Each structure stands twice: as structure tokens, then as C-alpha cells.
Amino acid sequence: MLEMQPPIFARSRPGRRGFDLPAAGVPTPGGPEDRPGSIAGLLGEVEMRDEPPRLPELAEPEVVRHYTKLSQLNHAVDTGFYPLGSCTMKYNPKVNDELTGLPGFAELHPYQAVEDVQGTLQAMWELEQQLLELTGMRRASLQPAAGAHGELVGILMIRAWQRDRGEGHRDTVIVPDSAHGTNLATASMAGYKVVEMPSSAQGLIDLGSLKETLSRHQVSALMLTNPNTLGLFEEDILEISRLTHEAGALIYYDGANLNAILGKAKPGEMGMDVVHVNLHKTFSTPHGGGGPGAGPVAVGETLEPYLPAPLVARRPDSAGTGGAADLEGSADTYRSPEFYFEQERPKSIGRVRGFYGNVGVLIRALAYIISMGGDGLQQATEDAVLNANYLRARLRDTYEIPCDRMSMHEFVASAGRQKSYGVNARDVAKRILDSGMHAPSIYFPLIVPEALMIEPTETENRETLDAFVEVMRQIDRESREDPELVRTAPHTTPVRRPDEVLAARRPVLRWVPEDPVNG
């Protein structure tokens, strides 16, 4: 029974409770005479709350049932196919969740003494080494909490580098028009002007247009994604790299699509200066309905001094004993355990978050890479690309494929043909939901009309891919024979086409008890 639930606040009844706390168990030192032992007395001249916050009041069974039922309203990787392009919805191994939950990891405080945290530092160090091998870069920061956060780090590093060389006047970042929105938003957040370059007819970066843009603007950086958001490998990548560098700019490589090239090509060898990696995509950590992710940023020689501090480092001659003897003469450390934080990095752009990153996500990714091994990762890439091309080959009859060439881990189809029957990409997507599958990404990249961006990932088997093809064909048939059915889809979900216009026109962003809608 998939039924919508009232907001938890509407389930509240005064006086219920879901939690029993221990007694304070200590004597309370006297406060002022009139309020001895009271909390207000302890706190002194502080403004207290008049009324408690209206949090819900519920017993534990009610809370558990509420969220269990809410969860059932979600589609998820564990419940079905999720070919959401650019998002790499692959299987998230269960063992990685368990390992991250080990008390030795989960109960560690970020400011414990360095000799007390060697295990986690080693995990971070190992992950960094693995990412460097996979990307062909030199050093990485694990601090960014997501891909976009990594982008910001990358662009700020480029900016700092350029200012250092006296080129602070370079005020422009260029992106292909197929770029993900975060690329543009990142650049402007870092204070840049953004110039979008039109893609070539093949869906790739157009060298001519690149040259022209580089010459017409004070370009600081080019941001690109490779394979790009059409799932196509930028075949001219070496030339792009040469031209950009010659123009005095650096290249930011959006590594959200790294799943396509593990063991097949390395951004470092393409001449990229900085790369972010989405651990919550390629490296199988769960998306959590929107996070947490992690977006480590790896750099080459040019930008290494600018990485956010601190970095994790390993004493090269360390015996691995984690001892606590003093190390004379080191500016960065005061003890000599095997792993330590490199704090003093004078050119560093500084921190972009508190502490060290989404460490739990990092540990999951480490466990994944260890489990897969080099060969396994390469096989994953091969299967991801195989699956995408297989779907492309099988859907080609029924759906337009604007750039119908060998794709990498994803490809973009279009509902252009179906449009002529009165059914658009959104309608197709909604109708897919009726089959118990998730829809592809739609209307992205922007350069493909009625785009359906399909990324099956390597953890899907052939039966599932074939079933998806059947669904897509059926929807095509329906579009011709009964377009209304598709236009009014979905028909089997708990709700159907929430009114987004209403939501934006009259935003209801919180529950309020008076609101009759919530009863």
C-alpha cells in the first residue's frame, strides 16, 4: 500500500515522547538566590526561550512507522533500474556501509590527537593514492563535499594561481554549451564571467569556436567534461589542451563521468590541470536521496601548491608503528606517527569546509576500490560503456539519437519523433515511471531538444536493459496510438504530476498547524 502520509508534525500529540534521557546525575552548583539549581540560574544573563519549539511529539513506534512508510514512496537503486544520465546510479555495496559504521571510524572525533587517528588517516591516504593513479594527477584534496564543491575548489585554485602570476585581470571562464549547470554556477560564484561555447554538430567542442573564444576574452579557465554530457569522448582533447594552455588558461576537468574511462584514459595524460571526482557516482557510494557525496579534487604540478589545507601525508620512512616520539625540526608536525596532516601550505586557497571532508563517504569509496581492484574497475568501465552502447543500438529504431556515434557510459536520445504525436520528453519520462523503472535525465544537456539522457551503469544486467527497451518501445507505440495515456502519465504512482507552478507561485516550504491542507 503506497499511500501518502501526513507530515510528521501533523501526527504530533502533546505529551508523547520517543526518547528517554538519563538523569543529569550531578549536583548543580548554586545559581542566583532566586533561581538556585535552575538551568536559567546556571546560564546566567541569557535570553531563554518562552515556548518550546513545535517539534513533533511522538513515541518511537510512531516515528519508525512514519519514516518506514515514507521510504516506501521512493524509487531507489535497490528497488529498480535507475538510468538517470550523468548521475551514475550504480549498485552501492552493503559491506561498505557496514565498514563505515565501525565504531573505530564512526566514533572518531576530528580533533583527536594525530596518534589516535592513524587508521582513518591511512584510509584517506590510501584513497588519495588510488585516485591519483586513476586520474593520472599528482596530489588530491579530499575536502570537497560534492562535485560542485570540488569545482569551486578547482576554480578558486586557478584564480589564485593566476593572481599569483599577475594575471588577475583574466575574468572569464569558458564552458561548452553542453555543460552541467554547476560548471557555470561555480565560475560565477568564484567571481568570473561565464562564456558558453556552442558545440559542434558532432556534439563536441568546436576547435574553431574555442580558438575564437580564447582570443576574444580574458580567459582564465576552460571547464569541460570528458566524456561530455552527451556521453561522447572529446576526441580533440589534446589539441584543446594545447590551445587553452597556449592562451595562458588552465583546464578544469569535471570528472563526474569518470566511470567511462577507468583504466582506459587518464585526465592527467590529457593535459588537464584539475579534476574532481564524484565518489557518489563512479565509486559507488550511496546518493542518499541527494547526498552526502564527496568530490575530491586532484591536480597536476601547476596547482598543487594551491590545494586546500590540510592534506594527509605519510612519513616516507615511517615504520608504521604509530609511535609518539618527537620528530625534531619538522615544521609541519610535532610527533612522528606514520600519517599526519600537512597544515602549512602557504599558497593554499584555504579550507572549503570544516574538518576534513565527508570521511564516511571516503571510507566507502576506499572499500569499493579495494574490492574492485584495478582489473575490476577497468571491467566496470567496459561494462558501463557496453551497456550504454547496447541500449543505444537497441533504441535507435524508435528514438532519435542526435549524435549517434560510439558513446561512452551514457548517451542522449531525444523524444523529438514522439513530439510530433504530441508527447514530449517529460511525458515519456513520466510514463516510464509506470513500469517501475526510473526515468532518464530529461531536457539535459540543453543542446538536445527533448533530451533523454540515458546512463544504465555497469551493475545492470542484460535482462534489465532489455526490459527497458521494451518499455521504451511500448511508450513509443502508445505515443502514436494513445498519446493521452502518455501525456497523463504516471498512472500508478502515489501522486501524479505535482503542480510545480503552484508550488513556486505560492511557496509552502514548511508545515504550519493552521494550514487546512495539512489537516
Partner 1 sequence: MRYLSHTQADRQAMLDVIGVESVDALFSPIPEALRATGLDLPAGLGELETRQHLEALAARNRIYGGASFLGAGSYNHFVPAAVRSLTSRAEFATAYTPYQAEVAQGTLQHIFEFQTALCELTGLGAANASMYDGPSALAEAAFLALRHNHRERILASAGLHPEERQVVATYASGPGFEVSTLDLDEDSGRTLVPTASELEGVGALLVRQPNFYGVIEDLRPLAEAAHDAGALLVVSQYPVTLGLLAPSAQVGADVAVGDVQPFGNARAFGGASAGYLVCRQDLVRQLPGRLVGQTIDADGKTAYALTLQAREQHIRRSRATSNICSNQALNALAATIHLALLGPRGLAELGEICVRRAHYLFEKLLEMPGIEPVFAGPFFNEFALRLPLPAAEFSQAMRARGVDPGVELARFSGGNGHRGGDRILVAVTEMNSPEDIGRYLTAARAVLAGETAPDPAAEEAPDA
Ligand X SMILES: Cc1ncc(COP(=O)(O)O)c(C=O)c1O
Give contact residues for a copy of itself (rule: CB under 8 A). Answer: 1-3, 11, 13, 16, 20, 59-62, 64-65, 68-69, 72, 78-80, 91, 93-94, 371, 435-436, 459-461, 463, 492
Compose the 256-295 pattern: x for residues touching ligand X by CB under 6 A, - for all others: x---------------------x--------------x-x
Least distance in Å: CB of 397 to partner 1? 12
Q: How far apart are CA 419 and CA 297, in angstroms?
A: 41
Residues 409-448 interacting with partner 1 (rule: CB under 8 A): 429-430, 433, 438-439, 441, 444
**Sole window of 19-27, 247-255, 410-418, 472-480 interacting with partner 1 (rule: CB under 8 A):** 19-27
Whose grid coordinates read 501533523? 10
Position 254 contacts ligand X (CB under 6 A): yes
Determine the residue type at 272: M
Cis-peptide into 292, omega within 30 deg: yes
DSSP letters spanning 312-380: EEE-TT--S-------TT-SS-SS--SEEEE---TT----SSSTTS-HHHHHHHHHHHHHHHHHHHHHH
DSSP 426: H
Compose the 365-404 pattern: x for residues touching partner 1 by CB under 8 A, - for all others: -xx-xxxxxxxxxxxx-xx-xxx-xx-xxx----------
Question: How big is the site for ligand X, counted in residues (CB under 6 A)?
Answer: 14
Q: How far apart are CA 1 and CA 18, in angstroms?
A: 26
Residues 149-188 interacting with ligand X (rule: CB under 6 A): 180, 182
> Residue 248: exposed, middle, or buried by beta-carbon count in 10 A (0-12, 13-18, 19+)?
middle
Per DSSP, the three-state class of 224 is strand
**Sole window of 68-76, 141-149, 348-356, 450-458 interacting with ligand X (rule: CB under 6 A):** 141-149
From the list partner 1, a copy of itself, ligand X, none, pick the one residue 3 interacts with, judged by a Cβ distance below 5 to 8 Å according to partner type.
a copy of itself
Find the binder of ligand X among 146, 223, 270, 297 (CB under 6 A).
146
* Cell, residue 97: 556501509
Identify which of residues 134 and 214 has a Cβ nearer to partner 1 in the complex. 134
Cis-peptide into 310, omega within 30 deg: yes
Question: How big is the site for partner 1, counted in residues (CB under 8 A)?
Answer: 230
Q: How far apart are CA 240 and CA 377, in angstroms?
A: 27
Q: How many CB atoms lie within 10 A of CB 180?
A: 22
Residue nearest to ligand X according to CB distances in the complex: 147
Residues 36-95 interacting with ligand X (rule: CB under 6 A): 86-87
> Residue 99: exposed, middle, or buried by beta-carbon count in 10 A (0-12, 13-18, 19+)?
middle
**Sole window of 144-152, 330-338, 359-367, 422-430 interacting with ligand X (rule: CB under 6 A):** 144-152
Which residues contact ligand X by CB under 6 A? Answer: 86-87, 146-148, 180, 182, 225, 229, 254, 256, 278, 293, 295
